[in-house]
Amino acid sequence: MLTHTLGFPRIGRRRELKKALEAYWKAEITEQELLEMASAVRLQHWALQRDCGIDLLPVGDFSLYDHVLDMAVMLGAIPPRFASPDNDIDLTTYFKMARGDDGIAAMEMSKWFDTNYHYIVPEFRRGQSFNLSPNILLNQVRQAREMGIDAKPVVLGPLTLLKCGKNRDEEGDPMDHLSAVFSIYEKLISELSELSNWIQIDEPALVLDLSDQERSHFQRVYDRLLYAAPKAKIMLTTYFGSLHQNTHLAFASGFDSVHVDLVHAPDQLKQVLPLVGADQILSLGIINGRNVWRANLDAALVLIEQAVNALGADRVMLGTSCSLLHVPVDLESESELDPEIRSWLAFAKQKCLELKLLSRVFEGYDVREELSDNRAAIASRQQSSRVFNRGVQDRVSAINDDMYQRTSDCNVRRGQQSKRLRLPRFPTTTIGSFPQTSDIRKVRSARKRGKINQEEYTNEIKRFIRHCVDCQHDLGLDVFVHGEPERNDMVEYFGEKLSGTCLTNFGWVQSYGSRCVKPPIIFGDVYRLEPMTINWIQYGQSLTEKPLKGMLTGPVTILNWSFVRDDIPRSETCKQIALAIRDEVADLEKAGCRIIQVDEAALREGMPLRQSEVDAYMSWAISCFKLAACCIGDETQLHTHMCYSEFNDVLAWIAKMDADVISIEASRSGMEILSALESHELRNEIGPGVYDIHSPRVPTTDEISGLLKKALRVIPAERLWVNPDCGLKTRNWPEVRDSLKNMVAATHEMREWIAKKG
C-alpha cells in the first residue's frame, strides 16, 4: 500500500526561503545564493518525507513564489508587458510578474479555492501563443532520482489552470485556449514520463460546479492526454471537497489512479468505490492537509478497510487530503507549547508519520502501541476541561435577534455621522497597519524574551504610534489609524488575547510569496479575558483632532485564518469569537471612538465551493459579523474591509453586513469590482482600493486619478472613499510616504475636478 503526499510546505522550518527571498529583493544576496538556499530547503523536505517512510514524493510542488505562476511560466503564458523579444523569462522577470515593477503593474492575485493561500492569476488574451519551458521541473525530477527518491512530478492540470485564469480581452473565455494549451501539456507529460513512474496532475476544479461545456472539455483533453505518457502512470488528484456530479467524469477518463479527499468529504467513498475501474488504483486523501489536529486513526482505518475490502490492498494508496502547503513543517520545533495541547497536534512531518503508520497496519506490522497512543491523545482532547466553558456556551444560547441589528437605517445613520465627523468629499484613509519595521519587531521580541519590562515596551510602542500619526498629519490624510505597531499580525494578535486559543513559535504557513502567517490554534470555547486594543487606540486619538479608526479583526476572518477546532460546527466557534469582538467594539465606542473598523478580509474565502452550500455559510457568516459590530449607536461609523478574493458574486450578501463604509481591494484587477457594483444597489459608502500594496512600485498621481474617475462612473461622489487596497505593514516607509502622497494629491485633483463640474 503506497503512501504519498500531494505537496509539502515550501517556506522552510524556520522560514529560510522567506528570508532568502527578501534578502534577494533587497540586493543583499545574489541570484545564485537565492537558488542555492531554495535548493537546500527543497532537498531537506524531500529527505524529511523519505525518512518518514513516504513512498512517492511530490516534485514540482516547490516554488520561489507561487505554483500557479510557475505553471503559467512553464507554458509560456507571459503577459506582453513582461515578455522579452525572445520570450525568455529570467528570475527578474518572474518576480516582476508577481510583484510588479516601476511602471509595470503586477499580475492579479486571488485566493486559492477556499484557502488563505494567494495565487497569481494567469492572464490570457486573444491569439495567445504557448511555448513549453520544462527544464526547471525536469531537472528537479532528475535531482530527486539521483537521491534515490521515487519522484512523483506535480503538474497543475489544464482545466484548473484555465479556470483560475482570466482573459484580458473584453470578450472571450480562458477555456478558449484549451486546444493550444493541450498540445503543450502533451509535450510536458511525454517528457516527464521518461523520468518518472508516476505523474500527479492536480485538478481541484473538479470539486466545483462545472458547466456541461467544461465537463466536455475535461473529457476531451484527458482522453488524449493519457496517451502522452506511455511509460508512466498518471494520478488525477482532486481535493478540497467532494467530486459530486463530477465523480463519473473523473473515473471514466482512464487515469491509472484517482485521488479523492476523504477528510472534507468522507461520504463520497461510497459513491466512488463502485466506479473504480479494474485496472485503477484508488488514492485515499485520509490525512488532513489543512488543519493541525492529530488524525483519529481508528476512524481513518474504517474508511481504508472499506476500500481494501472492495478493491484489495494492492489497489489502494494512502495520501494527504491535499498539499501540506497549508500547515507548518514540524511540531518538534514547538518545545514551549503546552504539553497537553501539543499532544493533540500534527504538523506536516507528523502527518507523514501518520500516513506511514496507517499503511503499516495493512503490511502486517504490530502497531498496537502507536494506535493506543493515538487513542489516548484523541480521548484527552475530548475530555479536557480547558476545551469547554459553560459560561461561553450559556452566553451563546442567550443571543437574541436584536443583537444582530443597528438601531436605524444606513441613510439615517449617514446624516448623523456626517454631522459628527465633518469629513471632506472623497475622504482619504488607510486600511489600518503601517510598516512593521525591524525596530518594531525587535521591541516586541525584547518584551517577549523579558529583555525590557512592560513600561519600557509601552513607551516604545507609543513612540511608533506617534510617528504614524505625525506622518499622517504631514501627508494630509482625513481619517487616521494608529498604525498597529503592537500587532504581529491581524489575526495572531487577537489569538494571543483570547481564551480558548494558543500560539506557536514556528507554526508558519505561506500566504503568498515570502509572506507567512502564524495562525492561532483554536482548541476550545473562545472568550475575551480583558480589553485588547483600547489603550493603544485611545493614545493614538489623543495625538490628533482628526478621527482615528478603532481597528479590529472580524470574527469570520479570525475563524478562517486560524486552525479551528473540528469537534463543533465552525458557525458555533464563530459566534463565540463574535461575542468577544462585540465586547471590544462596545468598549471602543465607550472610549469615544467615532469610527470603528471590523475587518472581514477572509469573508469570501471561507465560502463553500459548491453553490448549493453558499447561502447557509454566508447567512451565518454575515450574522456573526453583525453580532460583533451592531452594538454601536447611529453616530458611530462602522467600516469593514475585504481583500484579494472574487467578491462579484457575493455583493448582495456584503450589502447585508450593514456596514457604513466598505473598503475593498480593486487596483490589481483594474477596478473589476465596479462592473458588479453597477448591478447591485449598495447603499454603503465604498472605498475601492486605488493602489496595490503587495507590489513595491509607487503608483503615480495620474494612475490613481484614473481609477477614481473610473469609480465615479458607478459610485456617487458623496459615497466614494479613497484608500489603498490593504494594510501597509509589508511595505517600507519610503514607498508608503510616496504612495500616500500621490494618493492624497490625486484626491485633491478630484475634488477640484468635481467642483469645476459643479
Number of Cβ within 10 Å of residue 219's Cβ equals 12
Q: How far apart are CA 479 and CA 429, in angstroms?
A: 5
Characterize the bridge pairing of strands 550-553 and 595-599.
Answer: parallel
What are 135-144's contacts with CB under 8 Å, separation 24+?
Answer: 136/70, 136/74, 137/59, 137/60, 137/74, 137/188, 137/192, 138/191, 138/192, 138/195, 140/42, 140/59, 140/60, 140/62, 141/59, 141/60, 141/192, 141/195, 141/196, 142/195, 143/43, 144/46, 144/57, 144/59
Helical axes 348-361 vs 31-51, angle rounded to 10°: 30
User: What 8-state DSSP symbol labels residue 477?
Assistant: -
CA distance 133 to 555: 44
Angle at 422 between CA 416 and CA 424, to 5 degrees: 125
Cα separation, 89 vs 79, in Å, equals 11
Nearest to 322 by CA among 277, 293, 283: 283
What is the three-class DSSP state of 556? Answer: helix
End-to-end alpha carbon distance in the chain? 75
Which grid cell sits at 200? 500527479
Contacts of 525 (CB under 8 A, 6+ apart): 387, 388, 389, 392, 393, 500, 576
CA dist., res. 439 & res. 80, Å (int): 40
Distance CA 490, CA 597 (A): 12
Alpha helices in 607-646 (DSSP H): 614-629
The DSSP call for residue 121 is P
The DSSP code sequence of 191-229 is HHHTT-SEEEEE-GGGGS---HHHHHHHHHHHHHHGGG-
C-alpha distances out from residue 159 to 165, 176, 220, 551, Å: 10, 11, 11, 40
Q: Would you say how long the chain is, in residues?
A: 758
Whether residue 694 lies in the annotated active site: yes
For residues 630 and 189, what is the distance between their CA atoms, to the nearest angstrom? 55
Residue 44 β-bridge partners: none
3-state secondary structure of 140: helix
Cβ 355 vs Cβ 287: under 8 Å:
yes
DSSP letter at 28 equals S
DSSP state of 621: H
Cα dihedral 236, 238, 244, 250, rounded to 10, equals -10
Question: Active-site residue among 45, 217, 259, 694?
Answer: 694
User: Residue 595, Cα to own-chain centre: how many angstroms?
Assistant: 27
Q: Within 683-732, where are the H helices? A: 701-712
AA letter at 757 = K
Q: Which residues are catalytic?
A: 694
